[in-house]
Amino acid sequence: MSPATDASDLNGDGFRCVNCGRRIGKLFVQYSPGNIRLMKCDNCKAVADPYIECEFMIIFIDLILHKPKAFRHLLYNVLNLEKIDIKGISLKSGLMNFILDAYRVSLLIRSKGSRDSSRSSLEFTWTCLKVFLNVLIGNLIFVTVLWIGIRVLLRLNYHICRYREILLAVLVSSYFKMFFLAMMVWDFPFASIFIVDVFVLSSNTVAIRVLTQLMTSACTVLCLCAHSAKFLASHWLLHLL
* E-only strand ranges, 126-210: none
User: Does residue 2 belong to any structural domain of this protein?
Assistant: no
Q: What is the 3-state secondary structure (H, E, C) of 19-45?
A: CCCCEECCCEEEEECCEEEECECCCCC
For residue 23, the cross-strand partners are 16
Q: Same domain for 130 and 152? A: yes
Strand 15-16 to strand 23-24: parallel, antiparallel, or no bridges (unpaired)? antiparallel
Contact of 195 with 172, CB cutoff 8 Å: no
Say how far apart CA 241 and CA 237 lie, in whole Å: 6
Kindly give, in sequence order, each residue whose CB lies less than 8 Å from that of residue 198, ignoring residues fewer than 6 positions away: none
Residue 111 lies in a domain: yes
pLDDT tens-digit profile, the chain (241 residues): 443 344 444 444 578 899 988 888 888 888 877 788 899 998 888 999 999 988 999 999 999 999 999 999 998 888 865 566 677 888 888 999 999 999 999 888 877 664 554 457 777 788 888 899 999 999 999 999 998 898 888 775 555 546 778 888 899 999 999 988 888 888 888 888 899 999 999 999 999 999 888 899 999 999 999 999 999 998 888 877 6
Q: State whether 57 and 100 are in the same domain.
A: no
What pTM, to 2 d.p., does this model score? Answer: 0.83
If asked whether residues 97 and 205 sit together in one domain, one would say: yes
Kindly state whether residues 158 and 230 are assigned to the same domain: yes
As for how many domains the chain has, the answer is 2
Domain containing residue 192: 86-240
- The answer to whether position 1 is within a domain reads no
pLDDT computed for residue 152 by the predictor: 86
Q: Which of 35, 58, 78 is the last residue of a domain?
A: 78
Q: Are residues 21 and 53 in the same domain?
A: yes
Nearest-angstrom CA–CA distance, 109 and 235: 10
Where does a domain end: 78, 99, 128? 78
Q: Using DSSP, state whether 67 is helix, strand or coil.
A: coil
Instruction: Mark which of 59, 78, 97 sits at the end of a domain.
Output: 78
Task: Give yes or no: residues 30 and 102 share one domain.
Answer: no
Residue 219 and residue 189 in contact, taking contact as beta carbons nearer than 8 Å: no
Q: What is the DSSP letter of 123?
A: H
Residues 45 and 155 in one domain: no
Q: Are 56 and 90 part of one and the same domain? A: no
Q: Kindly state the greatest CA–CA separation across the chain.
A: 67
Same domain, 134 and 28: no
pLDDT at 167: 86
Q: Are residues 233 and 153 in the same domain?
A: yes
Nearest to 197 by CA among 216, 215, 183, 217: 183
Report H helices in the chain: 56-64, 68-72, 86-112, 121-153, 163-172, 179-183, 192-212, 216-240
How would DSSP label each residue in 182-202? HHTTS---TTHHHHHHHHHHH
